[in-house]
Amino acid sequence: MENAEIEHLIKLVSREPYEGPDYGKRQRVLTLRLREILREFGCEKLYDGLRGSSDQLLKYSSKAFRKVLDGIVAAVKSYRDLNRSEEYHLRRKILLAVAEAKYGSEALKDLRRT
């Protein structure tokens, strides 16, 4: 069930790159949110090395998007052990942060209901 939800979120969020007029603002919001997520997982030290990831998550789609997401998860896993549940929550939080940056808070509410 968890994998199905993650795959569904990946398909929705990585469908197309974000190209809106407020790209810079959305990138900053996502960057700050990724920093918060890393802090929640006790990995804020990884922030500097992953700072460009927010730009890639907004620009990339499909396979490239998945590689960036997997890279963030791998970096966190190299810093500390994650059990399956923690890895699921990390992926979910990142995907929801990207969804909010791309589609706004109203769309995020809809995604959380699914």
Q: What is the pLDDT of residues 52-109, one digit of tens each?
A: 898 999 999 888 999 999 999 999 999 999 999 999 999 999 999 999 998 887 666 6
Q: Give the predicted TM-score (pTM) of the model.
A: 0.89
Provide the pLDDT for residue 35: 94
Other CB atoms within a 10 A radius of the CB of residue 16 amount to: 11
Q: Which domain holds residue 15?
A: 2-113
Q: What is the dihedral sign for C-alpha 41, 45, 49, 50?
A: positive
Structural domains in the chain (count): 1
Mean pLDDT of the region 27-52: 91
Mean pLDDT of the region 22-34: 93
What backbone phi and psi angles, to 5 degrees, belong to 19?
-135, 25
Confidence class for position 113, pLDDT limits 50, 70, 90: low
CA distance 29 to 100: 9
Provide the pLDDT for residue 107: 64
Q: Helix, strand, coil % (nearest 5) of the chain?
A: 80, 0, 20
Mean pLDDT of the region 9-31: 91
